[in-house]
C-alpha cells in the first residue's frame, strides 16, 4: 500500500528555468512532509520540509507547497542549476513522529546546461 506517490519518474529542465516536482499522498493522518535529495552513491539528504499548518515553506531557491484538500505537495526549484540534478524523494509522517515516515519512489531531475 503505497501511501506516498511520485508519479513522474523523471523530469528534464533547462538551466535557469523552474523545476516542479510533484507528490501525492493518500493518508489524511500525515501532517509533516519532507523532501530529500539523493546523488549517486550517496544516501538521501534532507532538503526542505513543511507541516500541515502551513501551505508554503521557502528556503532559498527551494519552495514547498502543500494543498491538504488535494493531498498534494510540490517542490519548486527556481532557478534550476545543473548541480540540482539528482533524485528527489517526497516523504510524509504523522504527528512530527518520523518513526513511521513513508517515502515516494522518487523523481530523477536532470538540469541541462
Partner 1 sequence: DAMVIQNPRYQVTQFGKPVTLSCSQTLNHNVMYWYQQKSSQAPKLLFHYYDKDFNNEADTPDNFQSRRPNTSFCFLDIRSPGLGDAAMYLCATSREGGYEQYFGPGTRLTVT
* Residues near partner 1 (CB under 8 A): 2, 4, 9, 32, 34, 36, 41-46, 49, 89, 93, 96, 98-106
Q: Which lies closer to partner 1 via its Cβ, residue 17 or residue 54?
A: 54
Q: Which lies closer to partner 1 via its Cβ, residue 53 or residue 113?
A: 53
Q: How many CB atoms lie within 10 A of CB 6?
A: 19
Q: Give the shortest CB-18-to-partner 1 separation in angstroms.
A: 25
Q: Which lies closer to partner 1 via its Cβ, residue 41 or residue 113?
A: 41
Give the β-pairing of 10-14 and 107-112. parallel
Asked if 32 and 45 count as a contact pair (C-beta separation under 8 A), the reply is: no
Asked if 75 and 12 count as a contact pair (C-beta separation under 8 A), the reply is: no
Amino acid at each position: 500500500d503505497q501511501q506516498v506517490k511520485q508519479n513522474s519518474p523523471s523530469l528534464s529542465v533547462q538551466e535557469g528555468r523552474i523545476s516542479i516536482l510533484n507528490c501525492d499522498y493518500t493518508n489524511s493522518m500525515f501532517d509533516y512532509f519532507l523532501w530529500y535529495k539523493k546523488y549517486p552513491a550517496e544516501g538521501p539528504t534532507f532538503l526542505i520540509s513543511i507541516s500541515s499548518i502551513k501551505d508554503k515553506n521557502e528556503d532559498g531557491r527551494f519552495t514547498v507547497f502543500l494543498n491538504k484538500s488535494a493531498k498534494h505537495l510540490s517542490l519548486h526549484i527556481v532557478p534550476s542549476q545543473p548541480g540540482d540534478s539528482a533524485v528527489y524523494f517526497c516523504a510524509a509522517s504523522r504527528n512530527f513522529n518520523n518513526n513511521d515516515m513513508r517515502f515516494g519512489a522518487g523523481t530523477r531531475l536532470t538540469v541541462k546546461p
